[in-house]
Amino acid sequence: MRGDDAIGPLTLRALAKTCPPEIRLIEIEGEATQLLEAVTGATAAIIIDACRSGSPAGTIHRFDVVKSPIPVNLGAFSSHGFGLAAGLELARSLKQLPRICVVFAVEVIEFNPGAGLTPEVSFCFNELLAAVEGEFERLLLETAS
């Protein structure tokens, strides 16, 4: 990963230490076909990605994409070719979008190979981790009832 773009994989590695066994963590390199394959048949998906929409670095956006698509006025999401928003809309059009699908997109600024997280993105890491863990708790409560 390059710079702040590593926020998703770093969060997954931290989550792997405490993740309930009912939850499967998957790292995807950004291809829409991989995303479609990962969400097909899933009851729920919580997705973490880097984004650049013009908000301050370290801003955490949360979207319930079952209720509505990622807003187009926020600019191009994802540092990857086809993009997260396009991949999710493909899943929606093919009726493969999970019943629960939440995206956490972290505003980033640094994509240089070999660079670490910028201070702004490092600062939001614990908040992101807590937010995703909160989604896990809500998801487990919802599916248990």
Rounded distance between C-alpha atoms, residue 124 and residue 2, angstroms = 17
Range of the domain at 29: 3-144
Q: Are 132 and 15 in contact (CB under 8 A)?
A: yes
Q: Which residues on neighbouring strands pair with residue 64, listed in sequence order?
A: 102
Q: State which residues of the chain have pLDDT below 50.
A: 75-76
Residue type, 86: A
**Structural domains counted in the chain:** 1
Q: Note the pLDDT of residue 74.
A: 54
Q: How far apart are the first and last CA of the chain?
A: 39
Count of alpha carbons within 13 angstroms of residue 77, beta-carbon side: 26
CATH of the domain at 30: 3.40.50.1450
Q: Note the pLDDT of residue 37.
A: 87
Q: Note the pLDDT of residue 145.
A: 67
- Helices (DSSP H) in the chain: which residue ranges? 7-16, 32-39, 84-93, 119-144
Neighbours of 87 (CB within 10 A): 23
Instruction: Read off the pTM.
Output: 0.89
Q: Note the pLDDT of residue 75.
A: 46
Q: At what angle do helices 119-144 and 7-16 cross, to 10 degrees?
A: 50
